[in-house]
Structure 1
Amino acid sequence: MSAMFLQACAPEVSRLVVHGDSTAIASRIPLIEKVWNIAPRLDKSRWFNIISSRSGMRVYNDGEPGQSMVSMRDRLAKDVAHRQVTTIFYDRRNTGERPEDYVKTLAGAISLLSTDKFLIVPQVPDPKDRTSEEYFAMCRIDKLVSQRWPANTFNEVERRAFVTALDEPRTRIDGLHRNALGQKIEAEAIGRWLAHKRWLDSGGESDVRS
């Protein structure tokens, strides 16, 4: 009886972990919404909370707005508690890294995992910018990721559909961050990919560190 009681009272284990930048944590720009960066679990429109609600999987989100890939790798290195669970990398090029350096650092982060169940979400560029060095660098990153981890990212059809859907101005609160509609699109695409892989199973509610 005591063992059953302890098991029932034990905290639920996270079944999904998210690493990345403001796109991972679903950061918002308007000041009035900054409160959701302190307690994201209260915002059920965030893409990872939508996936958690629909799948029943507890989500741990370690996203950090504006961080570089090096910073993300270093945060993952300190997080020894979630290396064995299904992992989502949702991080855009923030600090001007060369695509080759970005992917090399990403590979270092992946090497720390104790699972081969990971998804690298494609880069999502500013829809108004299709001629800058930033845009072409992000395309290069996606290409390198697809070549190195073809089973762990969207295929080309999925990637184009994802980026095109988020190109709509009505999905953004600014040139970068997504509103509730954009996050619903993200949740649909990421959740569908994970379901196709059969990587979704039961857990609980989201567990988010801001």
Structure 2
Amino acid sequence: MIDVYTASTPNGVKVPIALEELGVPYRLVRVNLGMQEQKQPEFLRINPNGRIPAIVDDDGPDGQPLSVFESGAILCYLAGKYGGLMPRDPVERVRALEYTCFQIGGIGPMFGQAGWFARSAPEPVDFAIERYRKESNRLTAVLEARLQQVPWLAGHEFSVADIMNFGWLDTPDYAGVNLADYPAVSAWRDRMHRRPGVQKGLAALR
């Protein structure tokens, strides 16, 4: 059994969706972010960075328990263990890794900062809001160009890259991104919502 420590956030939805897509049973352990449970010693033993999501696989290498943190590492671990969510075609496999790293280094940090400065900063910082919103829209335009060419970020196969980017693009208003300006991304998001695994993963966190 895999224990999934997570919450209903753009990053938190990734692992339940991946496991539903893979058809792997799991146990959901909700982490109360408002109560700072992710900063408690019990959680820090699983993820020393004090962030969700994280997993504990009771049947890791050599049958020993294994904890994994960082959503990109978790999804790549699950894809490798269960043989899914990574394209068979070698070129598309590289593209899946590219757009996974694109989310880790770009979409996640920029969307997160855009939303934080606009909604949570103690005082308005107009320069920061403008900077991060502009960058969030620039990154969304990169996805738009890709998805005008292919149905999924890797190409013609659904992959970890789609799951990685979905959470933030499913809540674009947080970063000041209007998907009406990005029709290919909007259509991709609709395709994501039609997938049973995505539906089940999202429902698990409601």
Q: Per the shorter chain, which TM-score range?
A: 0.3 to 0.5
Select the structure with the greater relative contact order (CA < 8 A; seq sep ≥ 6). Answer: 1
Q: TM-score, normalization: structure 1?
A: 0.33
Q: TM-score, normalization: structure 2?
A: 0.34
Larger helix fraction of residues: 2
